Structure 1
Amino acid sequence: MKVARFYAPGDLRIEDAPDPVPGPGDVKVRVRNCSTCGTDLKIFRHGHHHIDPPRVIGHEIAGEVVEVGADVTGWSVGDRVQVIAAIPCGECPDCLRGWRTICPNQLSMGYHFDGGFAEFMVVPDRVLRVDGLNRIPDGVGFAEASVAEPLACVLNGQELARVGEGDVVVVVGAGPIGCLHVRLARSRGAEAVYLVELNRGRLDMAAALVKPDAAICSAETDPVARVLELTGGRGADVVITAAAAGGAQEDALRMAARRGRISFFGGLPKDNPIIACDSNLVHYRELTIVGANGSSPDHNKRALELIATGAVPVDDLITHHLPLDRVMEAIEVVASGAAIKVTIEPPC
């Protein structure tokens, strides 16, 4: 079979590899779609401290079962499945409290285990033990199902920020995550959703698809002033920073309404993670700042349902479909900002 295997920063190779063999507690899957994300670009450029090369990367995975281990029950050849990316242990104090997104023993597909940029892959028993292999609902295609993983992360973030009926929501960042945030906020009853983005071309492309109530180019307009203008000086109930920019997080504090909730959804570069926080704004306006770290197996299941019911459409966000042997081109497209979502489709 063909795989895309990461060896070192800048070194990602399309190679022939033997088909993987599932163990007694594993499931073997034919990958039908593995969508790309900004993390794949970061891995390609810089590597990752959880990856011990060589490693098949790719973690937004959907496919069909082709072989079931001897000890596995409940799964059959031909089942259409989506695979979680972040794998909690299910046994630590945090997991037992239901906080599986912050499991200190978390492992990940495409990092600790070979991922989805391959024709076939093994879903390890650790995924099955935490109910992390999910049936794709009828009517949902493999490409759409592969977007359930990032949507699950978005769902986690909006639950933590308590996005709900009547909220005015600002989403900073018009990439695929930002687009999903706009659509999910609408499905959760937001009164208005504003999209902020530095790059005019990326903003226009995203806004044409997700149709925010206002599209604000922060290279042309002060986004804080514009949000305050749109809200009659009150500010936004929720601000979600879906961009790896400290300036966006600082702006979020200034555009939030009293008792506003701010989600630091996008992490900052590890060599520059410090921002200037006006703690008086937090104190006197009673602001809440929350983080958001990935998703749980349950978030993945609910994300699939949101896609299946049409509450959060994702098909039109997939702007590029590329075969496995063009995975480098896919990563370049992600880097260029010329796409919303790029999916890899290994040969059947």
Structure 2
Amino acid sequence: MRAVIFDEFGARPEVRDVPEPVPPPGGAVVRVEATGLCRSDWHGWQGHDPGIRLPHVPGHEYAGVVVAVGPGVHRWRPGDRVTAPFVCACGQCPACLAGDQQVCERQTQPGFTHWGSFAEQVAVRDADVNLVRLPDELDYPAAAALGCRFATAFRAVVSQGRVAAGEWVAVHGCGGVGLSAVMIAAACGARVVAVDVAPGALELARRCGATVCLDGSALGPDAVSAAVREAAGGGAHLSLDALGSHATCRASIEGLRRRGRHVQVGLLPAAEGHPALPMDLVIAYELELRGSHGMPAHAYPELLRLVTAGVLRPAELVTSTIGLAEVPAALAAMAGPAPGGMRLIRPH
């Protein structure tokens, strides 16, 4: 099969013929009909994830059709239309047994722990735990957006952030996960302040329901939190760092009102050091700081119900579609500011 592969971290990936995956015991192989290009893939290519072994095929949010299953799989058969969360759980550890598969102690992640979905096929381990059946009315591009960014944003806003109608929600960074968070928060009845440095991303945020859009490049990093507090009438009730940088993490916390809630969604690579957080403010305002790491497969039905009902519209976040040959250049371009929205890959 054809796949995007790199032999060294940071070296330009290539499209090459590689062996097709074989379904492991309890696992499945999925023909990839659409897969997303995510900033997490860029971090992996740069060597920021210690679990990646070279050579490597990236890609972790995808939708497609089951083409083969391994021994021990009971719920799936070839021809089933599926997606999967980017965290594939073992289903047996204490975290999984508690229903928290997104923090599985023995998790695997296509595109990180093993070869991913920038290919014509991808292997999924523990298929009975991790595959999600797609409604017939949901097409593959929209479904591919759910595996990482949209599902991550949904859980970050709804479960971890506990958003309520009428609250102010600040979203720092309007890439795929940030725009998803804007759309989800607005659909929940919240008023959203969207922050980004790219005019195109802010325009997309406005279309997704943002009440206020702030240009971070015009304000400067030190003025962003003050602008959020002013726009939100004293500060956001809930704020998300959807980008993952020291500046956006700090601005997200400093833009909260008293007893506000910060959710860290964007990755903060250890290679860049630990951010200096305003813990004096956390104490004085009794702020709540939480992380959010994807969403377990068993939680997808609620999200799929809202998508098929038209309440949430992940397909509107897809701004471009490319083939495998265009992935190396697109991955390299992610070193700069993202243009906003989601870019999908159609491998076939």
Structure 1 CA distance for aligned equivalents of residues 85 and 116 of structure 2: 11
Q: Match of 1:156?
A: 155
Q: Could you say what secondary structure the match of 2:270 adopts?
A: coil
Return the letter of the residue paired with 2:228: V
Q: TM-score, normalised by structure 2?
A: 0.90
Q: Match of 2:255?
A: 255
Alignment of 1:33-182 (within 5 A): 33-46=34-47, 48-69=49-70, 71-124=72-125, 126=126, 128-130=127-129, 132-149=130-147, 150-158=149-157, 159-182=159-182
Distance 1:307 1:333, change over 3 A: farther
Q: Match of 1:321?
A: 321
Q: Could you say what secondary structure the match of 2:136 adopts?
A: coil
Q: Shift in Å at residue 93 of structure 1?
A: 2.3
Q: Match of 2:216?
A: 218
Gaps of 5+ in 2: none
Distance 1:136 1:273, change over 3 A: same
Q: Match of 1:238?
A: 238
CA-to-aligned-CA distance 1:219-259 (integer Å, 9 cap, x gap): 22322222222233x21111111122212222223221111
Return the letter of the residue paired with 2:198: R
Q: Is the 8 A contact 2:75 2:128 kept in 1?
A: no
Q: Shift in Å at residue 162 of structure 1?
A: 1.1
Q: Match of 1:298?
A: 298
Return the letter of the residue paired with 2:210: P
Distance 1:64 1:236, change over 3 A: same
Q: Is the 8 A contact 2:44 2:112 kept in 1?
A: no
Q: Shift in Å at residue 35 of structure 1?
A: 0.8
Q: Match of 1:27?
A: 28
Percent identity for Structure 1 against Structure 2:
30
Gaps of 5+ in 1: none
Structure 2 CA distance for aligned equivalents of residues 67 and 73 of structure 1: 12
Q: Match of 2:184?
A: 184
Q: Could you say what secondary structure the match of 1:325 adopts?
A: helix
Structure 2 CA distance for aligned equivalents of residues 66 and 89 of structure 1: 21
Q: Is the 8 A contact 2:90 2:106 kept in 1?
A: yes
Q: Could you say what secondary structure the match of 1:212 adopts?
A: coil
CA-to-aligned-CA distance 1:118-144 (integer Å, 9 cap, x gap): 1123323x2x242x1111112111011
Select between 94-103 and 331-340 the one with higher mean Cα deviation: 331-340
Distance 1:174 1:95, change over 3 A: same
Return the letter of the residue paired with 2:207: L
Q: Is the 8 A contact 1:60 1:83 kept in 2?
A: yes
Q: Could you say what secondary structure the match of 1:186 adopts?
A: helix
CA-to-aligned-CA distance 1:153-177 (integer Å, 9 cap, x gap): 1122221121122211010111111
Q: Match of 1:284?
A: 284
Q: Is the 8 A contact 2:30 2:65 kept in 1?
A: yes
Structure 2 CA distance for aligned equivalents of residues 280 and 11 of structure 1: 44
Select between 254-263 and 61-70 the one with higher mean Cα deviation: 61-70
- Which is strand-richer, 1 or 2? 1
Q: Match of 2:207?
A: 209
Q: TM-score, normalised by structure 1?
A: 0.90
Structure 2 CA distance for aligned equivalents of residues 111 and 272 of structure 1: 19
Q: Is the 8 A contact 2:85 2:294 kept in 1?
A: no
Q: Could you say what secondary structure the match of 2:169 adopts?
A: strand
Q: Is the 8 A contact 1:152 1:302 kept in 2?
A: no
Q: Is the 8 A contact 1:151 1:303 kept in 2?
A: no
Return the letter of the residue paired with 1:45: Q
Q: Shift in Å at residue 204 of structure 1?
A: 3.4
Structure 2 CA distance for aligned equivalents of residues 24 and 46 of structure 1: 29
Structure 1 CA distance for aligned equivalents of residues 118 and 305 of structure 2: 25
Q: Could you say what secondary structure the match of 1:238 adopts?
A: strand
Q: Is the 8 A contact 1:119 1:346 kept in 2?
A: yes
CA-to-aligned-CA distance 1:179-213 (integer Å, 9 cap, x gap): 001011122221x101011x233443433532410
Q: Is the 8 A contact 1:262 1:289 kept in 2?
A: yes
Q: Could you say what secondary structure the match of 2:218 adopts?
A: coil
Structure 2 CA distance for aligned equivalents of residues 323 and 345 of structure 1: 5
Return the letter of the residue paired with 1:341: M
Structure 1 CA distance for aligned equivalents of residues 6 and 299 of structure 2: 28
